[in-house]
Amino acid sequence: MPVMSTSDPFTVRGPARVGPVTEPDADQLERLAKAPRTADGTPIGLFATLAHRPRLMARANALGGALMFDSTIPERERELVIVRAAARARCAYELSQHRRIGIDAGLTEAQVDAAIAFDDEHPWSAADRALLTLADEVSADADVSDATWAALDGIFDPVQRLELVLVVGFYRMLAGFLNGARVQLDGAAQFAS
């Protein structure tokens, strides 16, 4: 069942099922103080919604932060994998956030569009094609074929390949949360590194 409009990959289908915390208690306030914010200074919808379970929000934030800011994967390549995983999950929220993050990390608009559209005709490098295939395989089968694992040999060491699998799995998990809760799109978020 798609969550995004088929005509616009950046539209959430329907109103929020569980809205963001609007009157945070002291624990929620403390945890939300560390969350990325929209241009108007409010916590982004992902964290404002997760704040209903502050300890869960903190743990998700810790893993997501490690994958974003303490990664051994170059930013551009990490974002290519995230954009593709978000597209496979049909997650408007992740696509709206990571389109901008990906471009800031060095992806071109054409590359982001091609990754979202599953455009096999795009002139991907062999390394990018292998990364997209990894994201596709983990998204579809929760596995990586031997051929795809081998295609990344010499580009990423085995531990980095494990991290790539975790990146796809993490963003797939978040997509389930975001899609299921119908978390609404934010304005431009400000991420601190």
- With H, G, I as helix, E, B as strand and everything else as coil, classify residue 6: coil
pLDDT tens digits along 58-92: 999 999 999 999 999 999 999 999 999 999 999 99
pLDDT tens digits along 126-141: 999 999 999 999 999 9
Instruction: Please report where in the chains the tokens 């998700």 appear, as a residue.
Output: 60
pLDDT higher than 90, residue 9:
no
In whole angstroms, what is the distance from residue 36 CA to residue 33 CA? 8
**Where do the domains of the chain lie, and which CATH numbers do they carry?**
73-182 (1.20.1290.10)
Angle at 192 between CA 191 and CA 193, to 5 degrees: 115
